[in-house]
């Protein structure tokens, strides 16, 4: 009887060890993939960044997020699959977009800090900035593009205000596409960095050159690279 108990204990220990090794292997592979992707991306540093290239993965949110719509959230990538925005990059030093960018950075920094409340507060600030933006100075074509972008961005911000943090991150992916397009359309007086996450195949905007990944937060804080500097 004693020998049987010893044998069972050894089997249980071996089973637990195998499970532990498997979990560690998955974690190691994830970080290795991030590093390898970053090296691959570095070979493309010399590519033109004058236009917003849709082929770089900015619109892959639907495939990457796997967002379950049964919770009442919309498919946040639908609009980007159905239409392409052909926006010529603006070089205007436009101060009018600063409030929107400040609110976007508030969301981004909340997600970097794994702080749902801070991200939600940023979403509220962004909705306010959209509502207060003066559209009277936009040309006819700019107005049309602006309304298209902000309609989608508003939906993403509304979800960020009320969602758990995993869904906040999903909506932030599409919001980042919208904000990059918005700055291409209207310009900004701020110095910004367009960063790229090889794991998500998505870009985001940052006010600092240091990589702090909002799609993963503390899980993979430094995963990514600077694609270009704006201003």
Q: What is the pLDDT of residue 208?
A: 96
Model confidence at 202: pLDDT above 70: yes
Among 230, 215, 218, 211, CA closest to 41? 211
Mean per-residue pLDDT of the chain: 77
Question: Does residue 89 surpass a pLDDT of 80?
Answer: no
What pLDDT band is residue 93 in, cutting at 50, 70 and 90? confident
130-156: burial string, b at 16+ Cβ within 10 Å, e else: beebeeeebeeeeeebbebbbebbbbb
Residues present in the chain in total: 231
Using alpha carbons only, give the angle 70, 71, 73 rounded to the nearest 5 degrees.
Answer: 95
Whether residue 79 is predicted with pLDDT greater than 60 in this model: the reply is no
pTM of structure: 0.68
C-alpha 100: how far from its chain's center? 16
- pLDDT confidence of residue 92: 74
């Amino acid at each position: 009887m004693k020998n049987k108990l010893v044998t069972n204990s050894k089997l249980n220990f071996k089973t637990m060890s195998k499970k532990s090794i498997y979990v560690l292997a998955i974690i190691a592979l994830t970080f290795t993939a991030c590093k390898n992707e970053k090296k691959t991306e570095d070979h493309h540093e010399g590519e033109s960044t004058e236009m917003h290239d849709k082929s770089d993965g900015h619109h892959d949110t639907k495939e990457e997020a796997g967002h379950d719509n049964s919770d009442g959230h919309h498919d946040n990538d639908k609009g980007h699959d159905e239409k392409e925005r052909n926006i010529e990059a603006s070089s205007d030093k436009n101060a009018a977009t600063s409030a929107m960018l400040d609110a976007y950075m508030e969301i981004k920094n909340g997600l970097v800090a794994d702080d749902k409340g801070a991200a939600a507060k940023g979403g509220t600030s962004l909705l306010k900035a959209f509502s207060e933006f003066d559209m009277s100075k936009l040309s006819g074509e700019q107005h049309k593009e602006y309304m298209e972008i902000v309609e989608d961005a508003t939906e993403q911000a509304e979800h960020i205000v009320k969602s758990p943090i995993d869904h906040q991150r999903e909506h932030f992916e599409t919001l980042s596409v919208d904000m990059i397009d918005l700055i291409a359309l209207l310009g900004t007086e701020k110095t910004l960095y367009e960063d790229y996450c090889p794991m998500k195949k998505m870009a985001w905007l940052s006010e600092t050159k240091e990589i702090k990944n909002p799609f993963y937060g503390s899980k993979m804080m430094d995963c990514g690279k600077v694609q270009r500097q704006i201003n």
